Structure 1
Amino acid sequence: MGRRLWLRPPADHAQRAVWMRAHPFEWLEVSTYPATYSAQRIARAIRSGDRVAVSRHYGPAGAFETRTTSTEGGTTVHARFIGEAVNG
């Protein structure tokens, strides 16, 4: 029997953002989502630094990169901190 993702605990985004800031340019698995659209929505929110509940830890916009990969259990989001945006 396969792994049941709906039993998987939610990602601790605050903890992951802190780790990534301490380890710039290193990819970290954020979480695996059973639906591709959910993974893409989270990845977009992380990149944009949108102030919604999940991504409030990832601002400002452009400070993080993301990638998604298809896995046996769904779609996995990875992210990395690339630096704070610089304003002119």
Structure 2
Amino acid sequence: MGRRLRRRPLADHAQRAAWMRTHPFQWLEISTYPATYSAHTVARGIKTGDRVEYARHYGPAGAFETRTTTTEGGTTVHARFIGKAVNG
């Protein structure tokens, strides 16, 4: 028999982005992803404020920073609000 994957609830990105904006520089766990690639894709989307569904809450580009850590359940994404990006 195949391995059963326990499905995690989807991250509420709008709620997480709003919380981080009111608590600047405090790290918040976004979610844990079973695939490292997925975690890194989400982390990149948060940093760049991509126009994909989950990342649109994190604009403008550069307003958030992320880190990923390997955990027992996969790869966990943490993010924090660092302020408005400066256009360079």
TM > 0.5: yes
**DSSP 3-state at the match of 2:9:** coil
> 2:75 aligned with 1:75, yes or no?
yes
> 1:5: how far off?
6.2
Partner Cα separation in structure 1 for residue 86 and residue 74 of structure 2: 35
Following superposition, which runs of at least 4 residues in structure 1 exceed 6 angstroms of deviation?
A: none
> 1:86: how far off?
3.0
Unaligned runs of 5+ in 1: none
Partner Cα separation in structure 1 for residue 81 and residue 5 of structure 2: 26
Matches within 5 A, 1:18-57: 18-57=18-57
> 1:87: how far off?
4.0
Scaled by the length of structure 2, what TM-score is found?
Answer: 0.91
Scaled by the length of structure 1, what TM-score is found?
Answer: 0.91
Unaligned runs of 5+ in 2: none
